Amino acid sequence: MSTIEMLNTKFGIAGVVQVVAGLGGLAAVRVETGEAQGLVYLHGGHVAEWRPKGQDEVLWVSQKSYWADGKPVRGGVPVCFPWFGPKADDKAAPGHGFVRLMPWTLEAVTQEDEGVTVVLSTKSDDQTRKQWPGEYVLRHRVTIGRELVMSLELTNTGREAMAYQEALHTYFTVADVKRVKLTGLEGVKYVDKMDGSKVKTQEGAVTITAETDRVYVGTTGTVTIEDPDKMRRIVVAKEGSTNTVVWNPWVAKSKAMADFGDEEWPGMICVETCNVGADAVKVAAGETVKMVQRVGVVRM
């Protein structure tokens, strides 16, 4: 019996949940209920698809994405941990940490009123200790339903307090990013990574008119992606996070990424729930902290 067949025997729910060979032959949990459909890969604990009833796909994935062990997926919801962006003391280290590059353990699949919850986990071991001293268990509790609810739960299993950076680096599908507005960040300070990391204050709604890479700080609020051409609002709420990153690579950066189609940038925007940089989350020995991103879709 193959690994996927064994996982399906253990975790499948007839007519609702099936463990399948996804892209690149990577094992994935396919969820199909009357309320929503979704796909969660064991690779990277990676949510790749979510479609609530009556809606087109909400998450965005590049047609050029890699689908292989050791490689990041371009799109969906990469889990960035235990650092965000380049590793401060090792430029050769993988961007956004290493947990998105490795297989996670499928712990449980359950069905409740609000949807099907898939629980995946990864933990420190001899391999991770070569790149990061912390001892941890990282659990990703993903509920596929009318809402997509992702709860990233981090337990410090070491004897020392440790600071971790973490992000749910979510890629959303939009009709045309040039015609999208983001509300909910008005008056919030942000680090503009496209302007020498200057600290600025958001005036009005966020619109995308060039490569955009901003870390909004001290914000716990809900961000709404207003997409007039898809006649929908994507509502991104959160808990346990004080940073929100907004990113679109625009023309040149898209061309510079082998796993991102040159013409794909108008169709996506990242709104990322995170704790990064100076706002890394401090976790005492034995403590568990939780960061939640809750996504809903409302017709305009």
Catalytic positions, written as ranges: 169, 272
Q: Which of 169, 230, 232, 238 binds ligand TA6 (CB under 6 A)?
A: 169
Going 221 to 208 to 246 to 106, the CA torsion angle's sign is positive
Q: Is residue 171 part of the contact set for ligand TA6 (CB under 6 A)?
A: no
Q: Which two tokens stand for residue 214?
A: 């901003």
Compute the least distance from the CB of residue 209 to ligand TA6, in Å.
Answer: 17
- Per-residue binding letters, 189-218, with ligand TA6 (x by CB under 6 A): ------------------------x-----
Compute the least distance from the CB of residue 96 to ligand TA6, in Å.
Answer: 5
CA distances from 175 to 27, 212, 271, 272 (A): 30, 17, 16, 19
Q: Is residue 272 part of the contact set for ligand TA6 (CB under 6 A)?
A: yes
Q: Is residue 39 part of the contact set for ligand TA6 (CB under 6 A)?
A: no
Measure the CA–CA gap between 106 and 27, rounded to whole angstroms: 10
Q: Which of 43, 46, 87, 96 binds ligand TA6 (CB under 6 A)?
A: 96
Nearby residues of 128 by Cβ (< 8 Å), 6 or more positions away? 98
Q: Which of 52, 72, 115, 240 binds ligand TA6 (CB under 6 A)?
A: 72
Contact 184, 166 (CB under 8 A): no
Compute the least distance from the CB of residue 257 to ligand TA6, in Å.
Answer: 6
Tell which positions 97-136 bind ligand TA6, by CB under 6 A: none
Measure the CA–CA gap between 109 and 114, rounded to whole angstroms: 13
CA distances from 264 to 119, 143, 176, 224, 248 (A): 31, 28, 10, 22, 10
Contact 191, 245 (CB under 8 A): no
Place of tokens 């996927």: 4
Measure the CA–CA gap between 162 and 286, rounded to whole angstroms: 11
Contact 246, 182 (CB under 8 A): yes
User: How many residues interact with ligand TA6 (rule CB under 6 A)?
Assistant: 10
Which residue number, 117 or 293, has a Cβ lying nearer to ligand TA6?
Answer: 293
Residue 83 DSSP symbol: -
Compute the least distance from the CB of residue 270 to ligand TA6, in Å.
Answer: 6
Q: Is residue 277 part of the contact set for ligand TA6 (CB under 6 A)?
A: no
Which residue number, 46 or 169, has a Cβ lying nearer to ligand TA6?
Answer: 169
Which residue number, 118 or 269, has a Cβ lying nearer to ligand TA6?
Answer: 269
Which residues sit opposite 21 in a β-bridge?
A: 27
In the bound state, the residue with its beta carbon closest to ligand TA6 is: 95
Q: What are phi and psi of 83, to 5 degrees?
A: -135, 165
Q: Which of 83, 247, 250, 265 binds ligand TA6 (CB under 6 A)?
A: 247
Compute the least distance from the CB of residue 56 to ligand TA6, in Å.
Answer: 24
Which residue number, 85 or 296, has a Cβ lying nearer to ligand TA6?
Answer: 85
Contact 161, 285 (CB under 8 A): yes
Compute the least distance from the CB of residue 98 to ligand TA6, in Å.
Answer: 12
Q: Is residue 85 part of the contact set for ligand TA6 (CB under 6 A)?
A: yes
Which residues of this protein are in contact with ligand TA6, per CB under 6 A?
72, 85, 95-96, 169, 213, 245, 247, 270, 272
